[in-house]
Structure 1
């Protein structure tokens, strides 16, 4: 199958996740294009879609939102998966005992579940380096109170990303096998 892995990334952590997902799908025999959401011009040449974005203040980046919202019909007619990256640190639960990854789901997951019926939605941990902040984000680096509480480092869980990519590849193989059986 031909799969589009599209991403919206501000500092590169989400791009790295998208590239890793693309590599995993390629290793399992799929033809994959990995590209930024803003560079996607048409979807019709793909059989399936994996779309992800960094999340800021519980929202996907604008380019990812635009990609989904402008292509609802095309996405809803094909297998689609959504992912997000954002939380940093290693804690599994927050101060209230709630799952950190579940609590970091972007608002769009619920909305897009109704619109495009994704086969899976996943939140992955991100990466944070206050020395790489730019633009308006630099204010965080100047505020010691915020800077001190933000865990710094690369917290992406490559094993979890690989497992998710494998599950997508397996499901795509199942879809392909079912299509062959029904046409033959």
Structure 2
């Protein structure tokens, strides 16, 4: 079975998650390819998909949104999982007691749930290094109001990412062939 892990990443944190998912899913019977959404020209050769993007202001990046919408018919016919990265910090609940990851779901999860019927959708904590920020993002990131509340660091939970990827791989795994009957019996 050939699996595509397609991602959109601006500064590399989501790329790292996608690569980790791809590595965790590799096992006999699963041929896993990790590629940027914008580099995938013809996804019809894949049997299953894991698609993810960084989320900014509760939205997936444009090339990931376009990938899903452009290939919606194909994705709806095959096993697909979606992931997002973005929330920063170590708190799992906010000041009101709400789950941080659930509260960070991108708007597209609801749309894509109806459009392609994913088997699962997951939000992961992201990473932020203000030294890596460039362009207009750099101006925003260094504004005192943003800079003081936006924690910097790598908050990706590799165990949660590995566990999720292993569950997907288990679901896609080709069952072992039944043992041949014992001819001597």
* TM-score category of the 2 structures, normalised to the smaller one: over 0.9
CA separation of 1:69 and 1:135: change in aligned 2, threshold 3 A: same
State the distance in 1 between where 2:119 and 2:147 align.
37
Residue 95 of structure 2: SS of its match in structure 1? coil
Matched, 1:146 2:123: no
Runs (4 or more) in structure 1 with deviation over 2 Å come to none
State the distance in 2 between where 1:86 and 1:116 align.
22
Matched, 1:66 2:58: no
State the distance in 1 between where 2:23 and 2:159 align.
13
Please list every run of 5 or more consecutive structure 1 residues that lacks an aligned counterpart in the other structure: none
Q: TM-score, normalised by structure 1?
A: 0.93
**Corresponding residue for residue 97 of structure 1:** 97
**137-146 or 113-122, which moves further after superposition?**
137-146
Please list every run of 5 or more consecutive structure 2 residues that lacks an aligned counterpart in the other structure: 179-185
**Corresponding residue for residue 124 of structure 1:** 124
**Corresponding residue for residue 51 of structure 2:** 51
**Corresponding residue for residue 41 of structure 2:** 41
Q: TM-score, normalised by structure 2?
A: 0.92
Q: 1 or 2, which has the higher helix percentage?
A: 1
Cα shift readout 1:88-132 (whole Å, capped 9, x = no counterpart)? 000011122110000000000011000100000000000001111
Could you say which structure has the larger radius of gyration?
A: 2
Matched, 1:169 2:172: no
